[in-house]
Amino acid sequence: MKSKMDVELDKLCNILINKAGDVSNAFIREDANEALDKVVKHASASKALQAIIAAGSKSKNNTIRASCAGFVGTLVSRVGASTLLAATDQLAKLVPQLIAFCRDANPQVRMHGKQTLVGLSQDPSFDKQMKKSVTDSEYRAVKEILEDIGKKGGIDSLDSTSTSLASALSRNGSVRKAVQRKLPDNVQLDLDEIRADLTAAGWERRIGGLKRFLEMSLSATKAVASDTKVSCPPFRRLAFRLNKI
């Protein structure tokens, strides 16, 4: 199974990672992510890692880069920190990409990159192997990123969609607590992009945002309802009118 899949791995990952970033069709995106998940589980880990990085790390699409960074983290976990750190050549290629993820403009990409880097840093041989495998500037960049994460609360501070408790006052003045449910990273990213489109200055982008909002309202109703900024009455009314056109 692995050898057969490895032959077409570059082409397969390139197609799937781009489909995983298809913001116009939630169903295609979900199918592509499921297929990539199987690739991650069944292909040779080192080859899958290279193929996924090559396919999605340089994309201008936020969803594609976030998906790429997430699968890179999954593969690194599968290979294991000690094994990866011992592979000098592979580590030398991976570290610059993790640094790029950690500095990405998109918060989801940054989160995945930092989580992966923290996972590697917890291995006892991390410092020794890093000094052997990467340049001085890359090593300093990694240490700065890890120090910054430590100052902000460590690895627990990296999950931007983690479950949290929110307090609110009811009409009679008593306090009630509600649990904020965690949404999948790709769904949260879609909601963030839709919100940005809906509030954009250009009318064409706003129309595109309304179409995406309508589609997501039909395919992921609960997720849309959980985002009060996207599902506020004015946007719902506009989407309803758009559906009538």
Same domain, residue pair 96 and 67: yes
Structure tokens at 206: 């706003």
Residue burial 144-156, b: 16+ Cβ < 10 Å; e: rest: ebbeebeeeeeee
Domain extent, residue 224, equals 185-243
CB 41 within 8 A of CB 172: no
Structure tokens at 198: 């809906």
Span 113-157, pLDDT tens digits: 999 999 999 999 999 999 999 999 999 999 999 999 888 877 666
Q: What is the CATH number of the domain that holds 25?
A: 1.25.10.10
User: Which of 2, 1, 28 lies closest to 16, judged by CA?
Assistant: 28
pLDDT for position 29: 82
Quote the CA–CA distance of 53 and 14 in Å, as a whole number: 10
pLDDT confidence tier of residue 4, bands split at 50, 70 and 90: low
Same domain, residue pair 120 and 160: yes
pLDDT for position 8: 81
CA distances from 44 to 4, 91, 210 (A): 10, 16, 41
Domain count along the chain: 2
Q: Is the pLDDT of residue 166 over 50?
A: no
Same domain, residue pair 105 and 208: no
Same domain, residue pair 158 and 189: no
Q: Is the pLDDT of residue 235 over 70?
A: no
Q: Is the whole-model pTM more than 0.75?
A: no
Domain boundary among 135, 170, 205: 170
In a domain, 16, yes or no: yes
Same domain, residue pair 23 and 68: yes
Find the mean pLDDT for residues 35-41.
85
In a domain, 178, yes or no: no
Lowest mean pLDDT among 50-59, 101-110, 179-188, 206-215: 179-188
Write the DSSP string, 29-75: HHHHHHHHHHHHHHS-HHHHHHHHHHHHTT-S-HHHHHHHHHHHHHH
Same domain, residue pair 150 and 56: yes
